Amino acid sequence: MNIQYREMGMHKILGLHGDVDYFSMSELKNVIFKLINEKIPSIILDMRDVEYMDSSGIGLIVTAHKAMHAYNGTIGLINVHEDIMLLLKLATVDSFLKIYNNEDDIK
């Protein structure tokens, strides 16, 4: 997995390139929790170049959401492919996680 960083106001946007699955989880977890330990107020995962996510990816997002919620931080997603969105809805992750359609929706 390749991860690129960019900032948009108070948001740290992580551009993910590759699958979000068991095999890529260690690297992504380290990056996200490094930012959480720095108390970054908002992390947004740009899923434009992610075509596959398994349950370990969902678990990481939920765990990161809980950790950030403890200090009033937020984690969200942007540019989510339809198949992954269906998976997130099935797991009801969309009920508590901010999912943006595009960068114009980010405030």
Q: Tens of pLDDT along 1-10?
A: 899 999 999 9
For residue 83, give the CATH number of its domain: 3.30.750.24
Task: Count structural domains, the chain.
Answer: 1
Q: 0.75 cut: is pTM over it?
A: yes
Q: Which domain holds residue 19?
A: 2-105
Helix (H) or strand (E) holding 48: strand 42-49
Torsion of CA 17, 22, 23, 28, to 10 degrees: 50
Give 57-93 pLDDT, tens digit per residue: 999 999 999 999 999 999 999 999 999 999 999 999 9
Count CB neighbours of 30 within 10 A.
Answer: 11
